[in-house]
Structure 1
Amino acid sequence: MADWTPKVVALDIDGTLLKWLDGQAEDYETITAPVYDAIHRALDAGAHIVLSSGRSPHGMTRIADMLDIPREEADQLWVVASNGAVVFRYPPMEVVHEETFDAAPAVAAVLEHHPEALVAVEERAVGGYRVNRVFPEGEISGEQIITEVDDIIGEPVSRVIIRDPDATADDFLELASKLGLHGTDYVVGWTAWLDLSPVGVSKASGLQHVCDRLGLTAADVLAIGDGRNDIEMLRWAGRGVAMGQAVEEVKAAADDVTASVHDEGAALEMSRWFPPDA
């Protein structure tokens, strides 16, 4: 790839741009200077920066603001949210593509095995979530509106979060594999955190939508991420790079592995293609 330069840089947020840790209570939403500078060097070179996260849209706009993107007079930023189910431009927030599905059967199947699990669906109108019970502090952003599960999933949704603080990621991996969750795609997070989404929807499908609008292809994309929800994106991109602290299955899906988030891995990878001035 000696003559290759990314035209799109797709960046996961938590664990890639931000030093997220499971169980971390203090505010971790801090953009370091190396990450900030590398992103702006990419912009200087004409690359498109696309934030690509499992976060809901309202949880991503403040990260864009912290990065000072888009720049003044620049076109709206492209953002892939909710693990690819929502694609929007910002600012202002303008949803340009959304995938929804009937989550009720899959949620019922999971709750049969984890009846005390927490369930959440984005409530965009208030910048928060409808939840059956309040999530642990810092795990989801915005207002939490207590709602019965049947009402939470009573209509098509773009994404459902199921969280059991008393279980493990391995518990959820085993359960999801056993259930099959027909008609639904799923991703298990670092903890007992299950994201349910429409079949065929991932960060890769969301980024493909962005590339189609930009007149570019996957071959033009540098993607960086650390979670299981990044696997499709890393495989799809012209160059997919896993963060150093990623689990082995994420690293196996990538073309390369950079340093961990604590050692500025995202900045190091971007600097390979957009180096600082000598």
Structure 2
Amino acid sequence: MSATESTTARPGEAAWQPKLVALDIDGTLLRWIEGTGTTSEALSDKVRDAVRRAYDAGAHVVLSSGRSAHSMTGIADLLGIPDEGAERLWIVASNGAVVLRYPPTDVVHEETFDARAAVEKILERRPNVLVAVENRGVGYRMNRPFPEGELGGGENMIATVQEMVAEPVSRVIIRDPDATPEDFLALGRDLGLHGIDYVVGYTAWLDLTPVGVSKASGLAYVCDQLDLEPADVLAIGDGRNDVEMLEWAGRGVAMGNAPEVVQEVADAVTAHVADDGAALELSRWF
């Protein structure tokens, strides 16, 4: 899909309105800072107001990101949801491996895997990469410091790779500031990382997750709890880690800044994040 649809209803369903809105964060709600692998932590008024309209209309707003749980709750606070005394939000973190309720933070579902063999393979090919695993609720454990701001807030601790992957984990981050995304796409293909899934980000950033786990699987878990179907879901995202989510949702919308491979699987493409594309799409329905 290469252009934004102008309709305010899905074909054949003139009265359709999303019952669940799944929103990626970086590059979708928040704008990338040029030349870095980080985003501004400031929401535009248009985006905040559009998300709030969806929430006030009764839609379940679900933040769905590759971020760790502790770096997502602050985004809910910026959006001003949920209302005091209202039902807690559902949040899908770590590319679907962790599902939580907020506030307070309560992890209700987690998928883990044995990452040792995959990490060993990667280190054989790229011994100088940065490696991190989530220290849930606290921050990250890493073999060396990552570029400033890339892992978000929290308390980060230095540890050996062997210590980090000695027990099953929900996600492993591989980062090489001197490489390109294309380098990492080739690395994943060449290594044949069997038994796990991986996704490459905008920079040379590789996320390893349990096989079959994605934002789509995390959202499916949420829908099961809410007695909803994929057809009830509007999902908006911009990254390669959003592909499964956009394919799974009743309406999957790619941001205008998304790579071509992401736009191709979407039902529609909205405007660039710098032009508040998420707000434009939400305004079609709420």
TM-score by shorter chain over 0.5? yes
Distance 1:262 1:209 in 2: 31
Counterpart contact for 2:37–2:202, Cα < 8 Å: no
State the 4+ residue runs in structure 1 displaced beyond 6 angstroms. none
Q: For residue 27 of structure 1, report the CA deviation from its aligned partner.
A: 6.9
Aligned to 2:7: none
Aligned to 2:42: 30
Matched, 1:65 2:77: yes
Q: For residue 21 of structure 1, report the CA deviation from its aligned partner.
A: 3.5
Q: 2:113 pairs with 88, 101, 107, which one?
A: 101
Counterpart contact for 1:22–1:191, Cα < 8 Å: no
Q: For residue 20 of structure 1, report the CA deviation from its aligned partner.
A: 1.7
- What is the number of residues matched between the two proteins? 273
Matches within 5 A, 1:68-147: 68-125=80-137, 127-141=138-152, 142-147=154-159
Long gaps (5+) in structure 1: none
Secondary structure of the structure 1 residue equivalent to 2:284: helix
Secondary structure of the structure 2 residue equivalent to 1:272: coil
Matched, 1:232 2:244: yes
Letter in 1 for 2:47: V
Q: For residue 24 of structure 1, report the CA deviation from its aligned partner.
A: 3.2
Distance 2:37 2:64 in 1: 23
Distance 2:250 2:221 in 1: 15
Deviations 1:187-226 (A, max 9, x none): 0000110000000000000000000000001000000000
Counterpart contact for 1:25–1:137, Cα < 8 Å: no
Letter in 2 for 1:235: E
Secondary structure of the structure 2 residue equivalent to 1:83: helix
Matches within 5 A, 1:2-21: 2-21=14-33
CA 27–162 in structure 1, closer or farther in 2 if over 3 Å, else same: closer
Long gaps (5+) in structure 2: 1-9
Deviations 1:79-100 (A, max 9, x none): 0000000000000100010000
Letter in 2 for 1:185: D
Q: For residue 3 of structure 1, report the CA deviation from its aligned partner.
A: 1.9
Distance 1:124 1:98 in 2: 11
Aligned to 1:264: 276
Distance 1:115 1:201 in 2: 27
Q: For residue 234 of structure 1, report the CA deviation from its aligned partner.
A: 0.2
TM-score by length of 2: 0.93
Secondary structure of the structure 2 residue equivalent to 1:273: coil
Distance 2:233 2:219 in 1: 9
Letter in 1 for 2:18: P
Counterpart contact for 1:86–1:99, Cα < 8 Å: yes
Distance 2:147 2:246 in 1: 30
